Each structure stands twice: as structure tokens, then as C-alpha cells.
Amino acid sequence: MKILLVEDDPTLGEAVVLAVQQAGFAVDWTRDGVQAESALKGYAYDAMLLDLGLPRREGLEVLRNLRKRGGVLPVMVLTARDTVEDRVRGLDAGADDYLLKPFALDELLARLRALLRRAHGVADTRIRIGRLVFDSVKRQASVADRALVLSAREVEVLEILLNHAGRVTAKEAIADRLTGWDEGVGDNAVEVYVHRLRRKLEGSGVAIRTLRGLGYLLEAER
């Protein structure tokens, strides 16, 4: 999954980027409101972590403009503005969650995972298809209580496909969500990850189908 971080504090931004990446997410980091709006219009994200006190364009304006365009991207506000009025303005502008600075990175990650689960309509932390169980908190897949040994990239691809189970996911969309601006994952790499996942998912009751020219479809075997 791919996260957009909008934060102008370099020390905090670096810490959040590292924590989010270590949790298995791709992340793009912008440092002002104008850059954030440009990123939102040019890239597909799964969630946004948004500071309010930004240069060039306030975070609340970025959020309001996103909602005016009909954007439903899950947004967590990160801010030192701790009055009730500030929190009300943020939530009324369209924020889905509100985290006060300073915060523990573990809490940030837990709230981010919960935000993504709600966005996908998942109340449980575990996704079950066939005999496959994927724990989105532990980021661990298992079949009949046997843990699967997956690389970090394989976990990311599997999570993307599981969150779109029953629907076609384009190869390009998977590659985009696997990387930030400073990285690159080509279509061939995605094919390799999917091939490895197919082998490791044998006997799980789950199949990953390739639809030529369209992408991949994960579904329960019939």
C-alpha cells in the first residue's frame, strides 16, 4: 500500500517515513500544501498523513479541496493544534482521524492500519479467503495454522490483491503502490512476485489469475 505523508518538519518527517516503510508500506513525502495537491492529482494513494501547519497552503485547505473534488482518500491529521475547536474544524473538513503531536510511532502505525481497515470495510484484522488467513497487523499469512514464509515485497503484493479480492488489479497499479518516488519496481518484478506467491499459495484454496491486458484477480478456488 502507498501512503502520502505531508509534513514540513524534517526530523519528524524522516522518522515517520522510516517507520511507515519498516511497517511494509511505500511512502511519498511532500513538505508543503502545494506539493501535496500536485501529488494527490498525479498519483493513487491508499491513505494520507496530513500536517495542518504547512508552508504555501494550509493542511485544512488541502483537505477541503480534496473533499470538494470528491476524493474519498482516508486522511489522518497530524498536528500540534490541540484545542477542541481545532479538532472539530479538522474533522468537519473531512479528516477520518486526528493524532496530536508529539505521538508515539507505534500509535501512528496502529491508527494507520485501523484507518485502512475501515476504508476497505474490514472490521477484523484478519482477512480469510479459502484456507488462507492474512493478519494485517502482524502482516503474516498462514494456511491451516502454518505460517507462510514470504518476503516483504511478496507480503505487500498479497495484501494489495487481498484488499481487491474478486476484482481485477492492474499490474501497473501494483507496481505503483509498491514504491515511493525514490524507488522503482517494473512490471517484470511484479510478475516475479506473483509467480512466487502462486507457488507458496498452493493448497490454500486461493488462486491468482492473470487476465491478459487487464491485470490479476485473486479469488477462492472453485
Q: Tell me which of 85, 119, 153 is where a domain ends.
A: 119
Residues 94 and 153 in one domain: no
The answer to whether residues 91 and 150 belong to one domain is no
Averaged over 90-119, what is the pLDDT? 89
Same domain (yes/no): 12, 100: yes
Predicted pLDDT at 124: 63
Q: How confident is the model at residue 215 (pLDDT cuts 50, 70, 90)?
A: very high
Give the span between the Cα atoms of 90 and 54, in whole angstroms: 14
Domain that holds residue 149: 126-220
State how many domains the chain has.
2
Counting every residue, how long is the chain?
A: 222
Q: Provide Rg for the chain, Cα atoms.
A: 18
CB atoms within 10 A of CB 181: 12
CATH of the domain at 58: 3.40.50.2300
Q: Is the pTM of this model over 0.75?
A: no
CA distance 13 to 159: 25
Q: 48 and 156 in one domain? A: no
* Same domain? 115 vs 131: no
> Which residues make Cβ contacts (< 8 Å) with residue 146, sequence separation at least 6?
none
Q: 65 with 137, same domain?
A: no
Residue 182 pLDDT exceeds 70: no
pLDDT tens by residue, 31-83: 999 999 999 998 889 999 999 989 999 999 999 999 999 999 999 999 887 78
Q: Are residues 99 and 153 in the same domain?
A: no
Rounded (10°) CA dihedral 136, 141, 143, 145? -80
